Amino acid sequence: MFMEEKQNSQTSLDFNQNIFKPSSREEIIEIVKNCYKKNIPLEINGLKSKNKIGRNFQSEKTLDLSDYKGIIDYKPEELYIKVKAGTPLKEIIEQLDKNNQQLAFEPNDFGYLFSGESNSGSIGGVVSCNFAGSRRFKVGSVRDHILGFQGINGKGETIKSGGTVVKNVTGYDLSKLISGSFGTLTVLTELSIKVLPKPETSKTLVIKNPHLKKALDFIGKALSSSTDPSGGVFYPDYFGKNFVLNDLTHDGGLTAIRIEGPINSVDQRLNRLSKELSLLDQELSILDSEQSNIFWSRTKNLEVFKSLKSNLLRIVLPISETLQVIQKLKSFEIKYFIDWGGSLIWASFDQLNTKILGEIKDIVKKHQGYITLIKVEEDLKASADIFTIDPIKYKISEKIKRSFDPKRIFNPGKMYTGI
Amino acid sequence: MSSLQMPKVDDVVLSKKDKIASDLSVIINSKNVLSNPDELRPFETDGLTAYRQMPLLVVMPETVEEVSQILKYCNENKIKVVPRGAGTGLSGGSMPLKDCVLMAMGKFNKIIEIDYENRCVVTQPCVTNLAITHAVQDKGFYYAPDPSSQIACSIGGNVAENSGGVHSLKYGATTNNLLGIEVVLMDGTITKFGGKAMDAEGYDFLGLMTGSEGLLGVITEVTVKILKSPEVVKAALVGFPSIEDAGNCVAEIIAEGCIPAGMEIMDKALTKATNDYSKAGYPTDAEAMMIVEFDGTEHEVEAYIDKAKQIAEKNNSTSLKISKSNKERLKFWAGRKAAFPACGVLAPDYMCMDGSIPRGKLAEVLNEISKLSKKYNLAVANAFHAGDGNLHPLIMFDANDKESLRKCEEFGADILKYCVKVGGALTGEHGVGIEKRELMCEAFNDKDIQQQLTIKVALDPNSLLNPGKVYPILRKCAEEGRVHVHGGKTKFPDIPRF
């Protein structure tokens, strides 16, 4: 039957293959239309840096978008870049570097975690997962930087929302909806993303301190001051050795606060911060731009969990709850670090089973947070909920899913059963 | 303007007015159900006063449970519902329908919690935008989005419209400053999206609801993030010999890596009008005037102001004044914020447009507006949130002259179409509402609009919540609406606009 379609179409796709690797939008449309017609589920992939995140699901065919790549339009003075969804993040960053610009949301590189080496993935994957790095509390998440998109819905129709201008309230903001939807709503084809100038300089104040309570206190005060930090992390003793740098010889627990901007201003703010935090009796290091960038790059890349054998959970909480949650989780022998100025916990668990997971979820829920299972052993993955959802939101999500993908052909079950 | 087509009136609903009022009086306190014409009159329009329509009834719920029960009742009885916050919107988003129950949220007017540790405020939706800042400013915090109507507009309305403001260039619009909402759907379902923990898992319903103009749910609680007030704020007032020079200066400041807190341009006509009106000390001989504001630490602000000064000089600036005190800085803004009343002096009526364009197209679009002004023989004054390409041309006309009104509407539509043509958007911050509804097909094709309508139907299958707004009814690009002001009399003449 596919052959008939092939004869009628303008492209030369072979529908007997299991992996489609389209390089044009016309091909993507043809694939989706055929799958829609035949009820064939599709797994959508970019560069597979994050495809292990999410539930396992059955798919007959794979749509590999790694050949659908390229920068369509980059206007540094307009602060946007328009790219095809399969474009490697690396390529985008290289292009932005030339104009001293950046993606301010610092997307995580999950390559170290899953394969031991860098794989920052494709931009489509970054948007589909909506995981932002350390600057989150200051500049927003990935979704806050998506100006517009074009995608193919589950019927094979091309749809778009937003545009390339920052101010746009024309119709529903579907760019938000597709961010973090794990490829379950549309096949993304084009993305217009807000870019920002790189700060003139970036310096990091590192306080040698092994205590979480004190760390959260330092970071909390810093974030509530007018020194305007753009990063606040805490690494316990066991991770300190991962951050030995020229100006950071201490290998124990540390609290790091990043300040960015014009050089005079950064120095002024660092001085003020030291005073406001009463750090005179503390052991301190100030990392200059280069070392600061290395430090935050290692954080964004989750390098302390490089080639992790055990399980990794991502726990997001109101800052006020983090200390209590960590205290409760300590009985599970976790290793963790804190990002996002105190509201994001990356925690590895040697032992994790359905029962323990249930207990952890209850703790986090009680403290108004949520958990995403980033890396779990296969048997647990098959039985556990990777994402958590309540019945009301499930019902709404199901309706939204059907409004984009009525036959549930895109990554069916990747987020939730039935969606 | 009375020719605006709205969804078909349900005569059965009209005929049951008394029964509906009495049913609703069982759900909520009967004193909160209004049905007399005198009581309904204040709700017949919002900030887009050119359109007026009395609702069937007005309800003023006091709790989320009441909101839920009213919506459930209306859903089951196929009665249209129009939600309303402070009623200051500029695109007719809360204009009533003849057969609707208007849900006025005015009684949701309390701040629920101020949480400094998590740097957020949890509030009921009809608390005003500015009241949030007032509630936290003694501790040195503020809420960043600042639509000019912030003294009166409600935070729930800000969420519905995704309101921006002068400072959205650096701090983003409502959507970027929102942590969570509680919403009631048309079937009465109460749910929360987001909360004090950032980036809730699953589909981003918080993002979908923000800017959905009251079509998807009624907001009953809002959690916003608050920021520490910057230490130093300074502004520069710069005159240019041409609009091109001003436009180039804006583009270059952005390209140089300075992101000002706000960057505004006014053309000569508006500079003169606002200066006459508010004595702001503007360079009235300049063809274009720019206000650029930076905030941060002292050194940071100095560094950026210096850079902006150099760039302005390079782009032929004819005058440059830097604020020496907060008082002087506020004086710079006073004229800009009085643009509406200042225009009221120039002509009997004016319409305010709200288009968004790439920054680099400022000069081109202004030239086009100038050409159109000659073509239609109507004067125009221009104000821009230049930093983020959001323009507000004010078209002067006389509403008593039908031909003048028709020309004004065509002129306005031509401007918005041109905005879309150069890669911009129909509306930057005022919303589509009823005003730009029929122009949606300039920006979207049928498939795009159909996808959005499918979402609407998924959450409100009977299309009862705020129908007739945002999406075209005629399915052709008509030329309707705009913010129409007669004799300087806006609905809220004392509120600064855009």
* Predicted confidence (pLDDT) at residue A300 exceeds the cutoff of 90: yes
**Can you give the pLDDT at residue A356?**
94
DSSP A278-322: T-TTS-EEEE-HHHHHHHHHHHHTTGGGTT--SEEEEEE--GGGH
The whole-angstrom distance between A45's CA and the closest CA on chain B is: 19
Q: How large is the average pLDDT for residues A400-406?
A: 97
**Which residue, among B176, B157, B194, B203, has the nearest Cα to B466 in the 3D structure?**
B157
Write out the two tokens for B88: 């200051």
d(CA B78, CA B342): 45
Q: What is the DSSP string of A215-231?
A: HHHHHHHHHTSTT--SE
Residue listed under structure tokens 């949701």: B108
**Nearest Cβ partner for A264 among B202, B229, B303:** B303
Task: State the span(s) of chain B assigned CATH 3.30.70.2740.
Answer: 341-486
The CA distance from B467 to B74, in Å, is: 14
Helix (H, G, I), strand (E, B) or coil at A353: coil
Cα-atom radius of gyration of chain B, to the nearest Å?
Answer: 23
Burial class (CB in 10 A: 0-12, 13-18, 19+), A394: middle
What 3 state SS string does B125-168 have?
CCCEHHHHHHHHHHHCEECCCCCCCCCCCEHHHHHHHCCCCCCH
Q: How confident is the model at residue B222 (pLDDT cuts 50, 70, 90)?
A: very high
Looking at chain B, which residues constitute the CATH 3.30.70.3450 domain(s)? 232-337
Report the alpha-carbon distance of residue B378 to residue B388 in Å, rounded.
27
pLDDT of amino acid B435: 84
Which run of H or of E encompasses B326? helix B326-337
Cα–Cα dist A284/A232, whole Å: 15
Q: Which residues of A touch B299 (CB under 8 A)?
A: 262, 264-265, 267-268
Closest residue, chain A, to B204 (C-alpha):
A177
Q: What is the token pair recorded at A273?
A: 């911060």
Average pLDDT over residues A228-249: 92
B185/A79 Cβ within 8 A? no
* Contact check, Cβ <8 Å, B197/A370: yes
The token duo for B322 is 């830097």
Contacts of A403 in chain B (CB under 8 A): 451, 454-455, 457-458
> B173-194: string of b/e by CB count within 10 Å (b at 16+)?
bbbbbbbbbbbbbbbbbbbbbb
Among B213, B451, B457, B469, the residue to mutate for chain A (most A Cβ within 10 A)? B451
**Hey, which residues 363-382 in chain A have their CB within 8 Å of chain B?**
368-370, 372
Q: Contacts of residue A183 in chain B, CB cutoff 8 Å?
A: none
Q: B11-104: what CATH class?
A: alpha beta
- Is A391 near chain B, with CB under 8 Å? no
Per-residue confidence (pLDDT) for residue B278, from 0 to 100: 87
Single-letter residue type at A39: N
In this predicted structure, what is the pLDDT of residue A10?
57
pLDDT for A5 equals: 39
**Tokens in use for A7?**
């004869």
Under the banding of pLDDT at 50, 70 and 90, the label for residue A361 is very high
3-state DSSP helix/strand/coil percent for chain A, to nearest 5?
A: 35, 25, 40
The answer for residues whose C-beta is within 8 angstroms of residue B248's C-beta and 6 or more apart is B315, B363
Please state the rounded mean pLDDT for residues B152-165.
Answer: 96
pLDDT recorded at residue B474: 61
| Contact yes or no for B203 and A397 at CB 8 A | yes
> Contact, A6 vs A13, CB < 8 A?
yes
Residue contacts between A and B (CB atoms, under 8 Å): 252
Q: With an 8 Å Cβ cutoff, are A319 and B117 in contact?
A: yes
Look at residues B41, B207, B111, B116 and name the one whose alpha carbon lies nearest to residue A144: B207
What strands lie across the sheet with A19-20, from one edge to the other? A19-20, A61-64, A42-45
Q: What percent of chain A has pLDDT over 90?
A: 84
**Domains in chain A, ordered, with CATH?**
1-198+389-419 (3.30.465.10), 201-300 (3.30.70.2190), 303-383 (3.30.70.340)
Contacts of B251 in chain A (CB under 8 A): 77
Selecting from B176, B356, B428 the residue whose C-beta is nearest the C-beta of A144 gives B176
- How would residue B489 be classed by pLDDT, with cut points 50, 70 and 90? low
With an 8 Å Cβ cutoff, are A402 and B458 in contact? Answer: yes
Could you tell me if A36 and A156 are in contact, meaning their C-beta atoms sit under 8 angstroms apart?
yes
Helices (H), B181-325: 205-209, 243-255, 268-278, 298-314
Q: Which tokens go with B14?
A: 């009209």
Round the average pLDDT of chain A to a whole number and report it.
93
Percent of chain A with pLDDT strictly greater than 70: 97
Residue of chain A nearest B185, judged by CA positions: A396
- Contact assessment for residue A283 and residue A250, using Cβ atoms and an 8 Å cutoff: yes
Residue of chain A nearest B452, judged by CA positions: A172
Residue A244, min C-alpha distance to chain B (Å): 31
Residue A251's pLDDT is 82
Q: Which CATH class is domain B341-486?
A: alpha beta
CB contact under 8 Å between B390 and A262, yes or no, is no
Percent of chain B with pLDDT over 90: 74
Amino acid identity, residue A46? G
User: Taking a contact as any Cβ pair under 8 Å apart, which residues of chain A between 74 and 93 contact chain B?
Assistant: 75-79
The structure tokens listed for B39 are: 């009581």
CA distance A329 to A325: 6
d(CA A366, CA A407): 36
Of residues B482 and B55, the one with the higher pLDDT is: B55
The answer to which of A159-163, B236-240, B479-483 has the lowest mean pLDDT is B479-483
Can you tell me the distance from the alpha carbon of A127 to that of A141, in angstroms, rounded to the nearest whole number? 10
Of A100, A136, A320, the CB nearest to B198: A136
Mean pLDDT of A17-42: 96
Hey, what are B298's tokens? 């002292």
CA separation for the pair A400, B280 (Å, rounded): 51
- What pLDDT is attached to residue B496? 53
CB contact under 8 A, B358 and A164: yes
Choose the mutation target among B68, B116, B198 for the interface with A, i.e. most A CBs under 10 Å: B198
pLDDT above 80 for B193: yes
Q: Return the residue of B nearest to A398 by Cα.
A: B458
Residue A310 predicted with pLDDT over 60: yes
Supply the angle between the helices B402-421 and B362-376 in degrees, to the nearest 10.
Answer: 160
**The residue count for chain A:** 419
* Whether A163 and B254 lie within 8 Å, measured CB to CB: no
The C-alpha atoms of residue A338 and residue A232 are separated, in whole angstroms, by 8
Tell whether the model's pLDDT for residue A399 goes beyond 60.
Answer: yes
Distances B269 to A256, B75, B409, B418, B484 between C-alpha atoms, Å = 52, 50, 21, 21, 19
Please, which pLDDT band fits residue A8 given cuts at 50, 70 and 90?
very low
Residue B51: Cβ-neighbour burial (10 angstroms; 0-12, 13-18, 19+): buried
Name the residue facing B360 among A78, A181, A262 (closest C-beta): A78
Phi, psi of A154 (to 5 degrees): -70, -5
Every domain range in chain B assigned CATH 3.30.43.10: 11-104
| Structural element, H or E, at residue B441 | helix B440-443
- What's the mean pLDDT in B144-156? 93
Tell me what ipTM this predicted complex has: 0.95
Task: Give B140's contacts in chain A (Cβ within 8 Å).
Answer: 226
Surface of A (167-186) touching B: CB under 8 A: 167-177, 179-181, 185
Mean pLDDT value of segment B361-381: 93
The reply to whether residue B470 touches residue A171, judged by beta carbons under 8 angstroms, is: yes
Q: Which of B87-91, B139-143, B382-386 has the highest average model confidence (pLDDT)? A: B139-143
Helices (H), A83-192: 89-98, 111-115, 123-129, 136-139, 174-178
Which of the following CATH numbers is that of domain B232-337: 3.90.1150.10, 1.20.20.10, 3.40.50.720, 3.30.70.3450? 3.30.70.3450
Residue A160: list chain B partners with CB under 8 A.
444, 448
Q: Length of chain B in residues, anyone?
A: 498
Average per-residue pLDDT for chain B: 91
CATH of B111-228, one of 3.30.465.10, 3.40.50.720, 3.40.718.10, 3.40.50.300: 3.30.465.10
Instruction: Please state the pTM of the whole predicted model.
Output: 0.94
Q: Pick A177's closest partner by Cβ from B119, B208, B389.
A: B208
Phi, psi of B455 (to 5 degrees): -65, -45
Q: What is the DSSP string of B27-47?
A: HS-GGGEE-SHHHHGGGS--S
CA distance A315 to chain B (A): 10
A222 touches chain B (CB under 8 A): no
Residues A358-365: contacts with CB under 8 Å, at least 24 apart: A360/A313, A360/A329, A360/A332, A361/A388, A363/A325, A363/A328, A363/A329, A364/A315, A364/A317, A364/A325
A256-286: pLDDT as tens digits: 999 999 898 999 999 999 999 988 778 899 9
Confidence of residue B26 (pLDDT cuts 50, 70, 90): very high
Asked if the model's pLDDT at residue B480 lies above 90, the reply is: no
Closest residue on chain A to B250 (Cα)? A77
pLDDT tens across B83-137, in order?
A: 999 999 989 999 999 999 999 999 999 999 999 999 999 999 999 999 999 999 9
Average pLDDT, integer, range B272-299:
92
Residue with tokens 């140089």: B256
pLDDT of residue B192: 97
For residue A11, what pLDDT is reported?
64
A61-104 per-position pLDDT tens digit: 999 999 999 999 999 989 999 999 999 999 999 999 999 999 99
Task: Say whether A165 and B428 touch across the interface (CB within 8 A).
Answer: yes
The minimum CA-CA distance between A164 and chain B, rounded to whole Å, is: 7
| Residue B497: per-residue pLDDT | 47
For residue A143, list chain B residues with Cβ-Cβ distance below 8 A: 199, 204, 207
pLDDT band at A250, cuts 50/70/90?
confident
B244 phi and psi angles, rounded to 5 deg: -60, -45
CATH 3.30.465.10, chain B: domain bounds: 111-228
pLDDT over 50 (residue B31): yes
Q: Among residues A358, A334, A356, A355, which one has the least CA distance to residue A345?
A: A334
Residue B493 has pLDDT above 80, yes or no: no
Maximum Cα interatomic distance, chain B, rounded to a whole number of Å: 71
What value does the mean pLDDT take over residues B343-364?
A: 88
Packing angle of the helix pair A391-404, B446-459 (nearest 10 deg): 160
pLDDT above 50: residue B359: yes
Minimum CA–CA partner of A173 in chain B: B208
Question: What residues form DSSP beta bridges with A148?
Answer: A162, A192
**Rounded-to-integer distance, Cα A313 and Cα A319, Å:** 17
Find out whether B461 and B123 touch, Cβ atoms under 8 Å: no
| A268: nearest CA partner in chain B | B299
**Partners of residue B385 in chain A, C-beta under 8 Å:** 167
B451 chain-A contacts, CB cut-off 8 A? 153, 157, 159, 174, 403-404
| Interatomic CA distance for residues B359 and A394, integer angstroms | 41
The Cα of B257 is separated from the nearest Cα of chain A by a number of Å equal to 5
Residue of B nearest to A132 (CA): B199
Closest chain A C-alpha to B156 CA, distance in angstroms: 16
Q: B380-385 and B319-322: which strand pairing?
A: unpaired
